[in-house]
Amino acid sequence: MKKILFVASEAVPFIKTGGLADVVGSLPKCFDKQYYDVRVMIPKYLCIKEEWRDQMTYVNHFYMDYLGQSRYVGILQCVYDGITYYFIDNEGYFSGSKPYGDWYNDLEKFCFFCRAALSALPVIDFQPDLVHCHDWQSALIPVLLKDRFHEGDFFRDMKSVITIHNLKFQGVWDVKTIQRLTCLPDYYFTPDKLEAYKDGNLLKGGIIYADAVTTVSETYAEEIKMPFYGEGLDGLMRARSNSLRGIVNGIDYDEFNPETDPHIVQNYNAKNFRKEKIKNKRALQQELGLNPDDKKFMIGIVSRLTDQKGLDLIQCVIDELCQDDIQLVILGTGEERYENMFRHYDWKYPDKVSANIYYSEPMSHKVYAACDAFLMPSLFEPCGLSQLMSLRYGTVPIVRETGGLRDTVEAYNEYESKGTGFSFINYNAHEMLGAIRYAENIYYNRKREWNKIIDRGMECDFSWGSSAAKYQELYDWLIGV
């Protein structure tokens, strides 16, 4: 039995700010339980909902020296969906109304968390063969396994993997601060280790010291070796290319299932969507006060409203787009200028644009089920989960060919009648508009072709099973079968 520990800053259903939580909460239960004992460790945030906190049981506690003080480390446990979750408790670090607050405090609390997570393992008597770390928040662990913890028998043969979910966030501060927070000697702060461009960089340390590096799609694994996508670490990614692999994320096919989804008005499947899916569109048009019209081409956007998501492209052509026979439904929050932009167009074209500047899981399911197409024109997209959800719900994705979008959406080819969506290559607003209008044209004038695109999309399998198999292969290779 191989023992694996996932260490991350968030996991569904306990706490979620982004796609990372979906991965950490969904992937562990897809491993073959006969051969793998996979457990998860995250911080016990005070902002975890009470219903989950009430299910946690106290396991043990100890005190750990950190930054010259003896700090309390509590360990709690909860078994959910057959997976054991451990929670590291310290109210000084993990209180607050959200898991991340400001950069400086986040750096300190995650340096504390990494040290506490490893120190807790002998206390709970769980000795993993491999620790799977996620993003910069747990990137100190591979470094600690080669440093302070390497001396003890308990940790000596422990392997580590780090998964980069988004290279943009690296845990960077000045060297003096990072050195103080990590409690690491000078030896580690050179350009071939944790120093990058005269700053300390936690993610860089994780990438250098981990036994293997993964990221969340094959294309993104190639892209981050180039300066444009490499966020200053492209040289390092090229240097580690032998240990780097891209494994595309999946989605939870039980949670995202149009046949059983409790959040949508009318359930449907790949056989009856032609008749039943439309009822969700009617219900959403009514709920949002859009013109009730079965035939209108409805485009959905469910997204963080940030530059990364390609919203400046939409800004360039939204007036032009609104001259077309379409409806546009937006759900999400983010940068003020994009929130206000969508509010403005909602006011300017009230029968065509609905801006819902908040986030709600049930509402996102309604958008996936109701819309005809789903727009994701990202500047970069390590994996992207929304396009996988839209394929599952028979909503045709329109994407830019980058990262995971390129790996998961096959561009429509009218001559061979192939493809599951529409795509454009260059980061250009009118190229995007061209792809949207091409989709409109197929939707309005070649309905049978459109339905075949949906058929192919709904046949795709982006459940966690296939990703888990690739991770198992990686674990076996590292641990030795």
Task: List, for residues 431-441, the tens digit of each pLDDT value.
Answer: 999 999 999 99
Reduced to 3 states (helix: H, G, I; strand: E, B; else coil), residue 65 is strand
Q: Evaluate whether residue 378 is within a structural domain.
A: yes
425 and 353 co-located in one domain: yes
What is the rounded distance in angstroms from the CA atom of residue 243 to the CA atom of residue 227? 19
100 and 185 co-located in one domain: yes
Q: Evaluate whether residue 87 is within a structural domain.
A: yes
What is the rounded distance in angstroms from the CA atom of residue 72 to the CA atom of residue 396? 51
Query: Residue 149's pLDDT is what?
Result: 86
229 and 344 co-located in one domain: no
What is the arrangement of strands in the sheet containing 396-400, beginning at the earlier edge strand? Answer: 353-356, 326-331, 297-302, 373-376, 396-400, 422-424
What is the rounded distance in angstroms from the CA atom of residue 324 to the CA atom of residue 352? 10
Give the model's confidence band at 151: pLDDT under 50 very low, under 70 low, under 90 confident, else very high: confident
- Which residue, 100, 102, 53, is CA-closest to 74? 53
Element containing residue 173 per DSSP (H, E) = strand 172-174
244 and 297 co-located in one domain: no
Give the model's confidence band at 481: pLDDT under 50 very low, under 70 low, under 90 confident, else very high: low
Q: Residue 434: give its domain's CATH number.
A: 3.40.50.2000
Report whether 398 contacts 431 (CB < 8 A). no
Torsions phi, psi of 129, nearest 5?
A: -75, -25
Report whether 28 contacts 82 (CB < 8 A). no
Q: Evaluate whether residue 256 is within a structural domain.
A: no
227 and 309 co-located in one domain: no
Composition of the chain by helix, strand, coil, percent to 5: 40, 20, 35
Torsions phi, psi of 161, nearest 5?
A: -125, 140
Q: Which two tokens stand for residue 290?
A: 């859009």
Q: Evaluate whether residue 268 is within a structural domain.
A: no
90 and 197 co-located in one domain: yes
Q: Which two tokens stand for residue 90?
A: 């310290």
Distances (CA, A) of 432 to 318, 332, 436: 11, 21, 6
Q: Which two tokens stand for residue 174?
A: 């000045």
Q: Which two tokens stand for residue 235?
A: 């040289």
**For the ranges 143-157, 205-219, 357-371, which has the lowest average pLDDT?**
143-157
Q: What is the average pLDDT across 134-140? A: 98
What is the rounded distance in angstroms from the CA atom of residue 396 to the CA atom of residue 102? 38
What is the rounded distance in angstroms from the CA atom of residue 65 to the CA atom of residue 137? 20
Report whether 161 contacts 209 (CB < 8 A). no
- Which residue, 246, 226, 266, 268, is CA-closest to 392? 268
What is the rounded distance in angstroms from the CA atom of residue 205 to the CA atom of residue 130? 18
Q: Evaluate whether residue 259 is within a structural domain.
A: no
Instruction: Say if residue 19's pLDDT is above 90.
Output: no
186 and 113 co-located in one domain: yes
Q: Evaluate whether residue 67 is within a structural domain.
A: yes
Question: Which amino acid is it at 156?
Answer: R
Query: Residue 103's pLDDT is what?
Result: 86
Give the model's confidence band at 197: pLDDT under 50 very low, under 70 low, under 90 confident, else very high: very high
- pLDDT tens-digit series, residues 399-412: 999 999 999 999 99
Q: Evaluate whether residue 264 is within a structural domain.
A: no
Q: What is the average pLDDT across 322-348? A: 97
Query: Residue 449's pLDDT is what?
Result: 97
398 and 303 co-located in one domain: yes
Report whether 294 contacts 286 (CB < 8 A). no
Structural domain tally of the chain? 2
- pLDDT tens-digit series, residues 351-370: 999 999 998 999 999 999 99
Q: In terms of C-beta density within 10 A (0-12 exposed, 13-18 middle, 19 or more buried), how is residue 426 classed? A: exposed
- CA dihedral over 209, 214, 219, 220, signed as positive or negative: negative
Q: Which two tokens stand for residue 74?
A: 């509590």
Q: Evaluate whether residue 262 is within a structural domain.
A: no
235 and 314 co-located in one domain: no
Q: Please name the residue ranges forming H helices in 77-230.
A: 91-94, 103-124, 140-146, 175-182, 202-209, 218-223, 227-230
Instruction: Say if residue 454's pLDDT is above 90.
Output: yes
Element containing residue 237 per DSSP (H, E) = helix 234-239
Torsions phi, psi of 407, nearest 5?
A: -75, -25
Mean of the per-residue pLDDT values for the chain? 96
245 and 278 co-located in one domain: no
- CA dihedral over 14, 19, 22, 28, signed as positive or negative: negative
Instruction: Say if residue 152's pLDDT is above 80.
Output: no
Query: Residue 322's pLDDT is what?
Result: 96
CB atoms within 10 A of CB 290: 20
- pLDDT tens-digit series, residues 43-87: 999 999 999 999 999 999 999 999 999 999 999 999 999 999 999
Q: Which two tokens stand for residue 382?
A: 């390590």
354 and 429 co-located in one domain: yes
**For the ranges 94-108, 201-215, 440-454, which has the lowest average pLDDT?**
94-108
Give the domain range for residue 395: 273-461
443 and 473 co-located in one domain: no
